[in-house]
Chain A
Amino acid sequence: MTWKRTMTGLLWISPWLIGFACFTVLPLVLGVWYSMTDWTLLEAPVAVGMEHYTRMLHDEVVHAATRNTLVYIVITIPLLTVVSIALAMLLSRPARFIAFWRVAVFAPSVLPLVALATIFKLMYDGELGVINRGLEATGLRGPGWFTDETWAMVAIILMNLWVVGPAMVIYLASLRDVPRDLHEAASIDGVGWWGRLVHVTLPMISPVILFNVIIGLVNAAQVFVVPYIMTGGGPNRATYFWSMYVYDAAFRYGDMGYASALGVVQFLAILLLTIGLLLIGRRFVFYRGAVS
């Protein structure tokens, strides 16, 4: 009976298992193999050992892509975390039209990133864009968003805030789960708003923060669509990210072996960073009901 139940269960999830094996495990294994070959896609791969990995050490483009990706991760994740928690706290309070405000914050996340990036590209336009026009109206001179190396990165990071919805919704749900009696007890003890936030709210939602930070890290480390559409990686590779190099190496330069090696390193980097976050989480994350 147990065997039969197991087989029935496996049969029901077999579409997912087959998909996982074909589209995740197999490409991963093949990717590792191809990363050790010289392969243009149009010709048979030739084994080259660790050549691509040693090449990365001296590749200026890898250095630029690594620098940009790290800057993006380091700025984006804290910013997204703070903004999404702040929005969740605002939207967790009773207010008129609260459902509308929640939908308004979440709605941009439903739009395809390609469409959002195209809209923002127009909004950032120095001459016609609504952002610089708005700045002009307040007496400020808007920057050249895409011609200045620093501002190009800022433009991409700011655009990213527009899709804060999914994280905000998760925080909103977790805030509702914070016991009211803890807040009340803290208030009776004379703890102010800031104290309750730091010593009650944040510890209670810390597992959710860790979850969102890990998801944010995985997404930020693979950022591609927005810079690809908005800046193409320029100017002077200032917004050229790791995933863009993987794509270019594979499909523009016909260097699938090197692209695979870049992909493998990206995968390992994300894995290591995630493990690092989980280890940090052991110290700082508070799990209610967990056995120490």
Chain B
Amino acid sequence: MRESPGSLVRTVLLCVLALVAVGYALLGPRPSTSGSDDRIVLNYWEKWTGTEAAAMQRVVEAFNASQDRIHVNYLTMSSIDEKAMLSIAGGAPPDVLGLWSFNLPFYAQADAILPLDLPGITAETYAPAVRPLVFDGDRQLAGVNTCSSVALYVNLDHLDRAGLSGGDGDRPQTLEEFDRMVGPLSIVEHGEVVQAGFLHMDPGWWHWCWPGYFGGKLYDVETDTATIDSPENVEAFTWFQRGQRRYGRDALRRFQSAPTDNPSPYRNFLTGRLSMTIQGPWMARVIAESAPKLNWAAWPLPGPVGSPEAPAGPIECDILVVPRGAPHPDEAMEFIAFTQRQDMVELVSSLHAKPSPLMEVSESFRLEHPNHSIAAHEAILHSPNGFGTPPLAGWPELNAALTAGVDRIWNGDEDVATVLAEVQSEVEAQLERARIRRERRNQPRFGTGP
């Protein structure tokens, strides 16, 4: 039987399509490993966007201009931790990854990042609180991009109106003094909160931090045990719950009836509905952009632990790592070493309005810093009472269990000790699974390195 013209066309069309597909697969584009001028191209993925991304762009440009052997290709993206995980698992990671310090134990536990060998850099290069966030024993696993500590941001005009002095010498030195300040700053009319003095859950990003102010912790590294329901933690979260009871649950629900980032996590403080809030040092930049007339200061939040000289507070870092399977690990470390130079660290920290993670800080950095209260953040960073998230590969899961417990404590009238005991039980099961997982693979626990 003769083929009709239509079937011939179809056959030819199919063959052409098949040829195009095969040709694309065989000869299609490949990731470039060298630039147009034969420089080695490093792919650097970073999580920042906007102003913060632009700040790091300047460091990248400085590096690219500093030599003629390596070119860094800087790519910013969202959800970087998931993309990092998939790219490493798929065997096609970038050369340099910008992650958060709490990501480090997970990647280190799985041997998914390479130990760094950065000439001239030791643990002593960094502020004390930063060291455990990037080192596992003697091994440096990450460079520090920027770091931040969390301090109390205060609307000084509110303090004046409430008859409280806003002078730095009169800042609250103890938790009792702080609690006494919150009362006059809180305005409740006809059962509605008009102005809140301080809210523990605004913005609610650091709900894990309260134990740290009371000498408590969530996890004991030495014994690999959860300490969620320790007496210090019960005390911390009882104080936390009193913050809700000051205003009443229903009134607060109406006052805070929006997700924290809706439309801005800073809105209550910036609009004068909230007198004091805990925030990171970037708050100075946010205030300058959104509420430049706001009269503010930042102090360390006082607590039973810590003192004006050695305040307590949470600390986080943005880190740079070289993933397993990176095409150019040596060049990647060369780039990371460049970013750890004091001038580069101070450039990006200043543009982010953050303190320097290094021990050595230039006078000009402090004098020209965009956050006029940067000393408060530095004090926490250099304090022995500064603390980070627990060095756990399973921190996100622990944090999820804690978040649900914190919600119950904040939104309900439940007994704090009972709620924490339930969270403790959930976290103990998580730690047991993590232990079994390590045993299956004969892995050491993160944080117990040489």
Contacts and interface: CB of A to CB of B under 8 A. Distances in A.
Given A128-B258, A252-B396, A42 B85 contact: yes
A143 B400 CA distance: 25
B323 to A, nearest CB: 10
Given A41-B86, A237-B404, A11 B258 contact: no
Contacts of A235: 407, 411
Which bracket fits the contact residues of B? 35 or more
B394 A253 contact: yes
Contacts of B262: 121-122, 125
Given A252-B396, A253-B397, A42 B257 contact: no
A41 B400 contact: no
Contact of A1 (B1, B86, B110, B253): B1
A121 B262 CA distance: 7
Interface string B367-407: 00000000000000000000000000110110010011001
Contacts of B213: none
B222 interface: no
A126 B254 contact: yes
Interface string A12-56: 000000000000000000000000001011110010000000010
A184 interface: no
Interface stretch (A89-97, A145-153, A186-194, A209-217): A145-153
Nearest to B192: A141
The binding surface of chain B is classed by DSSP as: helix
Interface string A112-156: 000000000110111111001000000001111111110000000
The binding surface of chain A is classed by DSSP as: loop
Contact of B259 (A127, A132, A230, A248): A230
B114 to A, nearest CB: 13
A125 B110 contact: no
Q: Give me the 4 closest cross-chain CB pairs, A-B, nearest first.
A: A126-B257, A144-B257, A144-B253, A42-B110
Interface of A: 1, 8, 11, 38, 40-43, 46, 55, 58, 60-61, 121-122, 124-129, 132, 141-149, 230-232, 234-237, 248, 251-255
10 contacts: A42-B110, A42-B111, A55-B433, A129-B258, A142-B257, A146-B258, A147-B252, A149-B411, A235-B407, A236-B404
Given A42-B107, A127-B257, 12 more contacts: A38-B440, A41-B85, A41-B86, A42-B110, A58-B429, A125-B257, A126-B256, A144-B253, A145-B257, A236-B404, A236-B408, A254-B85
